[in-house]
Chain A
């Protein structure tokens, strides 16, 4: 009798337990499914402000009014971009023109930087009073003042020492007086002070947290957090100001939300992370925690579309500067409305 009751109890508890478990599994699977479905990102409306295409001639007002501004030297193979929030000036590193072009905030051309020094400038960023340029071909980082005058360089190849194997993206942390350089060929991030004195190296080749496989670009936010485009690991890695790994997001794939060929990264005021992708030919925006939020652009030549987008920067005024390398221009865009990070 007792045995029968016990068996019935076991049966009842067993059934309840299995029902709870099944419910849990269904809910869990729905959650997984929801997360997967979340990859169907919305295209976000952007306002196209202008295209920066190159140097313009210096004709008079009437000629410009009648015929429009004429471009003389075009952006050929631009990769890096940086906007100086103090002056509004925009700096574009062009690998084929072999100098950095400086533009006024309205997109008009103002100056060439490093015309006699640079060979293949790829990364550019600015501090309070200096312009830093990474040259992949020379294997050097060049420092100029804001007038474009050469101050110094460091790195380069000698028989005794190879400082950089292939420096590409760089980022300045003005507050902490640090310069981060992505050495794509060495698969690490090298850290310097703003005079070019070596401090430390972050990471090595690999796929684990804090390791890299062809890192090509970097961004530093206001808190000193470092965002690394770890291109052939198909992810963004985030580090704190001390170089400690915080998180990663992204994977390879052919759907939105994936990062098959990430090339540029920027962070806006709300901490949202913008990533350009040279295979999807668009910009995807992620929450600070790495959740995909929305995207803008798609492959094409018209305004708001991209071919092989490269570096990206976001100004204090909310303007988004995307190097649209395949279309030989920098597109200046703004989000039409702001939904927040949804977190």
Chain B
């Protein structure tokens, strides 16, 4: 009888080790499926983007195997040839392309008609983000790597409120924080100070 027990236990142990390793993440903090029993705390000041918590983070983040340190959802190959950015030769960051993969008019808007601004920061020009798309030559520069402020263009301040050049270039994230709903339009800071943080006219 004892031997039988040993055999049964051995079989179970062998079976356990040969089964595929799944279910580790079930009901953990990283399980955002509808059936998850995990409870999540509000992450101080940040509000969930979607009312459907099953996909709150997964559209943009991968908890494991991200190709860079930001845990953003990124492919390991890109950037060799990319979009038509504001300055010829500049490329869009992975973060900017992330935004555009939804802001294409389907899942989210790709246009806005609220404000006017020219490329050098003066008012009265092209509608700001009116044609927000992959060609940004007629919108606020995204993908530009201008130095702020520069001797060539004294229209700029040194920004203190916004992170104007994430990774060395202006990105969507220069003005927007995709987690922050306190300022409206997911802006980094209040509208009043946002433009003038970089522009001095």
Contacts and interface: CB of A to CB of B under 8 A. Distances in A.
A254 B68 CA distance: 12
Interface in A205-254: 205-208, 213-214, 216-217, 231-233, 252-254
Contact of B106 (A96, A184, A281, A301): A184
A231 B100 CA distance: 14
B131 A76 contact: yes
B88 interface: no
Contacts of A32: 20
B152 interface: no
B189 interface: no
A96 B113 CA distance: 12
Interface string B1-24: 001100110110011001110000
Contacts of B14: 18, 21-22, 25
A298 B77 contact: yes
A136 B20 CA distance: 44
A285 B52 CA distance: 30
A136 B105 contact: yes
Contacts of A169: 106
B131 A254 contact: no
B10 A308 contact: no
Nearest to A18: B11
Interface string A13-52: 0110110011001101100100000000000000000000
A188 interface: no
Nearest to A185: B107
Given A14-B7, A260-B73, A308 B134 contact: yes
A305 B80 CA distance: 11
Contact of A10 (B4, B75, B101): B4
A305 B7 contact: no
Contact of A206 (B34, B131, B133): B34
B11 A213 contact: no
A281 B80 CA distance: 12
Interface size class of B (residues with CB under 8 A): 35 or more
A25 B34 contact: no
Contacts of A231: 106-107
Contacts, number: 154
A122 B110 CA distance: 11
B10 A263 contact: no
Contact of A76 (B76, B79, B133): B133
Given A17-B11, A26-B18, A307 B82 contact: yes
A29 B62 contact: no
B34 to A, nearest CB: 5
B63 to A, nearest CB: 11
Contacts of A137: 111
B11 A263 contact: no
B62 A254 contact: yes
Nearest to B11: A18
B20 A29 contact: yes
B41 interface: no
Nearest to B58: A252
A77 interface: yes
B192 interface: no
Which one of A14, A22, A279 has the highest number of Cβ atoms from chain B below 10 Å of its Cβ? A279
Contact of A214 (B97, B107, B131): B107
Interface in A39-86: 76-77, 79
Contacts of A216: 106-107
A318 to B, nearest CB: 27
A117 B4 CA distance: 80
A23 to B, nearest CB: 10
A144 B141 CA distance: 37
State the 5 A-B residue pairs at the shortest beta-carbon distance, nearest first. Answer: A25-B18, A14-B7, A300-B81, A326-B134, A77-B133
Interface of B: 3-4, 7-8, 10-11, 14-15, 18-20, 33-34, 52, 54-55, 58-59, 62, 65-67, 73-84, 97-98, 100-102, 104-107, 110-111, 131, 133-135
Given A76-B133, A216-B106, 20 more contacts: A14-B7, A14-B8, A15-B7, A22-B18, A29-B20, A77-B105, A77-B133, A207-B33, A207-B34, A214-B106, A216-B107, A252-B62, A252-B73, A254-B67, A263-B104, A279-B97, A308-B97, A326-B84, A326-B134, A327-B134
27 contacts: A10-B4, A14-B4, A21-B11, A21-B15, A22-B14, A25-B18, A28-B18, A77-B104, A77-B105, A77-B133, A95-B105, A169-B106, A214-B106, A217-B106, A254-B67, A254-B75, A261-B102, A279-B75, A279-B97, A299-B81, A305-B81, A307-B83, A308-B83, A308-B104, A325-B134, A326-B100, A328-B135
